[in-house]
Structure 1
C-alpha cells in the first residue's frame, strides 16, 4: 500500500514570520470571547498583586514580630499570609478554568471551520490529498495549538504583570540590590531565538511524520487495506513500515523535548546564581547597616517572582514559534481554494423537468492531460442515455460534471435551460441521484443508511423504497431487520445487497436525474437480475445517464453516446448506430455479441 502522491506540503526551511496579517488572523479566533478574556486579565492582575503580599509579610515576621516577641502580631501576619495563599489558590483555579474554557471553544470552532471547509472542496482536492494528512490537520494540528491561549498567552500576560510589579517593589525596597538581581536577566534571552528556530524545524518534521503515521494506520485498518494485507500475507511488512515511521516520530519528539530541556537547564542555572548574588551583596549591605535580614529574605523570595516571568517570557517565544508552525499548516488547508462553490445570488432549483444540455464542454484534471473536448448534446426529460466506450475515455467524467463534482474548464452545462453554475449546489445535487459501482454504506444500521437519502423518511417510505429495490424481503430475514448494523463500508452485506440498499436510498431521495455508473458491474447473475428489476422504478419517468455495462442496458437506451478520446464519436439509438457500421458496430461485434463487459469507468488516475 503505497503512500499517496501529491501531498500538500507547507514546510520550508525558513522559519515563519510573525506578520501583522497572521497575528490578526489568529486573534480573530479570540475576539468572540473578549469578555471572558477581560475577566481572565483582571484575575491575572489581582493574582500578581496579591502574590507580592506573602514575601512582604515574611519580612515583617522576621524584622518585627520575632525580634519584638510579639505573639499577637506573629499570629496576625501568619493568618493573613494563609488567607492570601488560599485566595490566590481559588483565583488561580478560576483563571485556569476560564483559560481552558476559552481555548477549548476556540479549538471547537476551528475544527468545525476546517471540517466545513474540507467538505466544500472539490474531488480534485481529495484526489491529491492523503487521508492521513487530512486527519492530522483536523485533529492533532489543531489540538496542538490549544495551549497558545491556555498557557502561552496567559503566561505572557501573567509574566508581564508579575515582572513589572515585582521589579517596582524590589527597586522601592533597595535599588542597589535590585540592580544586582537584574544584572543576569539578559542571559535568559540570548539563547531564545536559536532554540526557537530549532524547535520549529523539529516540530514541522514531527507533524509531517505524524501525518505519515496516520496514513499508514488509515490504510492498514480500513476493510480494503486489511483484506489486501491478509491476501498477500504482508502483515510483517506493514508492521515494519509502521514501526519505522513510529520510531521516526518518537525520535523527533525526543529531539524537540531535549532541546527544551537544555534550554531550561541553562535558565535554571542562571536562576540559581541570582539568590547567591543577593545573599552576598545583601550580606555586605546588612553589615553596613543599610538593610535588614528580613528584607534580604523577602528580596530572595521576590527574586523568584522576577526570574520566573523572564524565564516564561523567553519560553513563550519558543512556544509561539512552535505554534506558528501549526497555524501555518492549518491556514494552508483553510486557504486551499474552493474550486466549486455557490456564486453570489445563486438561485435554487425547486422542481425540474430533467432536460440536460452540454454546450461545447471542455475539461481536464490538470493542464497537461485533456479529458473531454467539445462535448455537446441535448437530452429531453425522461430520456435514458447510455455511455459506451473503452476504459478511461471520459464516461464517468461526463456524469461527474452534471452534479458539479468537478467544474468545466470551458463551455456550459444546463438543466432545464439554466446554467448549473447559476444555481446553488445543494438544490442542484438534490435533483440528482447517483448509483456507483461500489456503493458506500456507513458502519451503522440499514435504517440510518437509508435516511441518508431522506432524513425525515417515515418507516413506511423506507419499506416501499426497499420493496421497489427488491431488498425488503432480505432485510426482514435479518435478526434486527432495519436496525441491523451493516459493518464498515457495508462489509456484512454482499455486493448485490449493498447495491440494492444504495438504490433504495436513491429512490427515497426521488431525484429527477439519475446517474448509474456501472451499477451491475462485478455482480453475479442473481444479484444482477435483482438490480435490473430495482432499476425499473428508479429510472421510470426520469432523465438517466447510464454507463453501459451489459447489452440489455444498451438496447433499453433511448440515446447512445460512443465516447472515444474524450469526444462523442457517434450518437444515436442501437439500430441507427448498427447501420452506421462505425465504432459502435465494432464494439458491438467484439464485445456485446460475446456477452463480455463493455469498458469501465474513467477516473482521474485512469485518465491521467
Structure 2
C-alpha cells in the first residue's frame, strides 16, 4: 500500500534515453584514467589473444593439407604440440586479463563509492528529510556495483570484439577474398534491429532500478527497530509480507523482461550464424572442385568464421549495453550533482578558543518559500549563560537551535559566535565547539565504549570513566556483564530511555564543547530517570553557553534568560520572575503547567 505512490510516480514519468554529451563521456572517462597503465596492459593482452587465437585454425589447415597427405608424423606431432602450447598460453593470458579486468573495475567502484559517501555526508538535513533511505542505499550500492558489468561487458568486450573482428577479417581476406565476401554477406543482418531493442531494454532497466530502490526502502523501514516494533504491535506482519512479495515479484518480472528482451532478434542472428558455414562449405566446395582451394583451407575458413561472427554479434548488442551503462552513470551523476546547500566558504577560518558568546541578528528562516518559520529573530547571549526556549509545538524552538551549528542556512540576517559570522568559519571547527543532547538519543549498534568514543575518538579510559561518572552512568555500566564492551543493540534498544540518555550526555561531556544545545532530555522519562538526568546535566552545563528547549518547569527556573517563541518570533524574554509579573504569554504557559501538572510544552 505504501509503495503505490512510487508506482504511480513512475507510471506518469516520461522515460527518455540518456543524452550522450561530450561532457558526460569525459566525466565517465575520468574514472578510468587513473588506471591507464593497467588498461594499456589489458589492451596488449587482448591484441595478443586475438593474434594467437588465429593460430590453431591455420595449424589445422597445415595438418589437413600437408602433414596428413604426406604421412609426416614428425610434422604432425610438431603442429599438434605447437597448437597445444598456443592454447595453454591463451588460457594463461585470459586468466591474467580476467584478474586485471576485476582489479580495475573494483578500484573504480571503490573510488566512486568513496566519492558518493563523501558527497552525501556534505548534504544538508533538508536532503535527508526529503530523500528515501532505500533510494540512497540503491545509488551507493547496486548502481555503483553495476559499473563492474559496464567495464567487463561494454569496454573490454567492445575492445576485444573489434580487435578479433579486424584481425580475423584480415586473415580471411588474405586466405581467399571470394570466400571471405561470401562469409561476410550476412553480417548486416546482425546490426539493423539493435537501436529499437536498446531503447526497450533501457526503459526496463531504469524501471527495474526504481523498483529495487522501493524494495530497499521497504526492507530498511521494516527491519529498523522502530519499524519492526510497529509491525508487531499493530500485527501487520502478514500485510508487510504481502507488500514485500508484491514489490519483489515486480522486481523479478522486470529483471526477467530485461534479460529476455530482444531474444527473438538474437534467435534470428543465431540462425544466420548457422547458415554462414553452410555457404562456406558450398562455395568453398565449388572452389575446391575448380582447384582454387584446398580442403584444409575450407576447414580453417569455417573455424575462423566463428571468430568473425561472435564479435559482430557482440558488437551488434553494444548499443544496448552502452545505453544501459549510460542509464547507470546518469543515476549516479544525478546524486553526485546534487548541490550541497551548506559548505565552507572560500577562505573560511578555524573557530578556536571559543568563549561562547552567541548572537542572532535579524535572522529570517523558512524551510519552503511559502511558509515562514522564523521572522526577525534577534538576541545576544553572553558566555556561560543558560537560555530556555519555551512555546507551543511547531513555533520554531528547535529550528533556532538547529541554525547555530548550521544544520540549516539562514535566509536573511546572521548568527555570530564570539562576534564571528558562523558562515565565515569552517563547519568542522564550528560543530566541534557545539554539543547536542537530543530528546531521543541515538546510539549505534556497537559497544558502550564505541558509542562514547564517537564524542572523542582518542579519549583515554580515565576520561571515559570520568565522563560516565559525571553523567551518573558509570556504576550502571560496571554492573553489566561486559561493562564498557556491552553491545547496546540497534538504536540502543538494550538500554532504557534514561540509560541511553545518560550515555549520550557522557558522550557530549567527552567532546567538551563550549556551547550546549539541549532538547530537554527528561520530557518522556520517569521520575527516577529524570532525577539522574538532572544530576548529569549539572557538570555538562557548568560554565558553558547553553540553549535548552524547555519542557519542565525546573529547567525554566534555572535559566538565566527565557525566550518565549510564538509564530516564529520572540514574543517575550526575561527571567522567570519578570515574565510572571508581565502576566503575558509566559504566564499562561506557566499557569497551564502549574494548574494541570502538565508539561510546559511538547516538541519544538
Q: Tell me, yes or no, whether TM beats 0.5.
A: yes
Q: What SS class does the counterpart of residue 360 from structure 2 fall into? A: strand
Map of 2:392 onto structure 1: 390
Task: After TM superposition, give the deviation of residue 598 of structure 1 in Å.
Answer: 2.2
Match 1:77 to one of 62, 71, 79 = 79
* Contact kept? 1:4, 1:128, Cα under 8 Å: no
Indicate if the aligned counterparts of 2:433 and 2:514 stay in contact, CA closer than 8 A.
Answer: yes
Per-residue deviation, 1:497: 0.2
Residues in 2 aligned to 1:270 and 1:588: alpha-carbon distance in whole angstroms? 88
For 2:145, the equivalent position in structure 1 comes to: 143
Cα distance in 1 between the residues matched to 2:34 and 2:42: 14
431 and 26 in structure 1: CA distance in 2 versus 1, 3 angstrom threshold: same
Size of the alignment, in residue pairs?
602
Q: Which runs of 5+ in 2 are unaligned?
A: none
C-alpha distance in structure 2 between counterparts of 1:146 and 1:406, whole Å: 37
CA contact (8 A) 2:153 2:321 kept: no
Rounded to whole Å, the distance in 2 between the matches of 1:279 and 1:470 is 91
2:479: which partner in 1?
477
User: In structure 2, what is the equivalent of residue 243 of structure 1?
Assistant: 245
2:99 equivalent among 75, 97, 121: 97
Aligned partner of 1:55 in structure 2 is: 57
CA deviations 1:369-412 (Å, max 9, x no partner) are 11111111111000100000000111001000000111111111
- Residue 592 (structure 1) shift: 4.1
Q: Which residue of 2 is the match for residue 315 of structure 1?
A: 317
Structure 1 unaligned spans of 5+: 603-608
Bigger drift between 368-377 and 223-232 goes to: 368-377
What residue is the counterpart of 2:564 in the other structure? 562
Contact 2:472–2:536 (CA<8 Å) still a contact in 1? yes
- Give CA deviations for 1:278-335 in whole Å, capped at 9, x if unaligned: 1111111111111111111111111111111111112222111111111111110101
Provide the rounded CA distance (Å) in 2 between the counterparts of 1:478 and 1:173.
83
Contact 1:5 1:128 in 2 (8 A): no
Q: Equivalents in 2 of 1:75, 1:460: separation in Å?
A: 79
TM normalised by structure 2 equals 0.98
Correspondences of 1:89-128 after superposition (within 5 Å)? 89-128=91-130
Distance in 1 between the 2:93 and 2:297 partners?
Answer: 27
Q: Which residue of 2 aligns with 1:605?
A: none
TM-score w.r.t. the length of structure 1 is 0.97
- Is the contact made by 2:6 and 2:214 (CA closer than 8 Å) also made in structure 1? no
Q: CA deviation at 1:594?
A: 3.0
Residue in structure 1 matching 2:326, options 324, 327, 335? 324
Query: Deviations along 1:149-198, whole A, 9 cap, x unmatched?
Result: 12321111111111111111111111111111111111111111111111
Q: Does the 8 Å CA contact 1:388/1:563 hold for their aligned counterparts?
A: yes
Aligned Cα RMSD in Å?
A: 1.5
Pair 1:182 & 2:177 matched: no
- Match of 2:387, SS? strand
> Which whole-Å CA distance do the structure 2 matches of 1:568 and 1:4 have between them?
42
Q: 1:547 to 1:465 in 2, by over 3 A?
A: same
Q: Conserved in 2, the CA contact under 8 Å of 1:436 and 1:519?
A: yes
- Mapping of 1:241-390 within 5 angstroms? 241-390=243-392
Q: CA deviation at 1:261?
A: 3.3
Q: 1:127 deviation in Å?
A: 0.4
Residue 16 (structure 2) aligns with: 14
